[in-house]
Amino acid sequence: MTDLAPITQLLELMSELPKGDPARQAELFQSAKNAASVSPTTTNRLRYALVLATPGHGGSDPVAAQRQLSELLARPETLLTAERLLALVELQEVDEQLVLQAENQRLRTDDASRDSQNKLLAVNHRLAAEMDENARLRKALDEARAKLDAVTHIERSINDRGTSAPPPPK
């Protein structure tokens, strides 16, 4: 049976971090970051990696967590058995989270692409309808001009006959 005492504080931190108010979250994050920077022991580095991996706070960074956890697990002999197990489980969680984020981004991009295509199709359809309407109106205008020209021609013919006709007898 594995002794879980060494990771109890880490699990409590991971549980408390997303529940705290933003000031408390920032304090916990900064404390873990400072400890890993000032005294980069395996435990402090693991604590910081787990803080980075924990979602639900402003300092969460799954890419950095993945890198940190991978570095720690590259030298498993430096970790206690319980720490190694926790790091492995958390690395798997982070890997899954990154896969899901990538898939989510791909779907958003696909949706945006589909929306753009749908909008383009709608605009093209509207353009085709407007072009058809313009062609119909041009044809109607040409027919109206032809009728107007015919009426004008008839009026001229009538006017020409009226001026060339002999005056009525007196």
**pLDDT tens track for 30-47:** 999 999 999 999 999 999
The encoded tokens of residue 11 equal 């699990």
What is the rounded average pLDDT for all residues in the chain? 88
Which residue ranges make up each domain of the chain? Answer: 5-106
pTM, two decimals, is 0.62
* 3-class secondary-structure state, position 165: coil
Give the pLDDT confidence of 78-104 residue by residue, as tens digits.
998 899 999 999 999 999 999 999 999
**Residue 113 Cα distances to 22, 102, 110, 128, angstroms:** 36, 16, 5, 22
Q: How far apart are CA 33 and CA 86, in angstroms?
A: 19
Give the pLDDT confidence of 122-134 residue by residue, as tens digits.
888 888 888 888 8
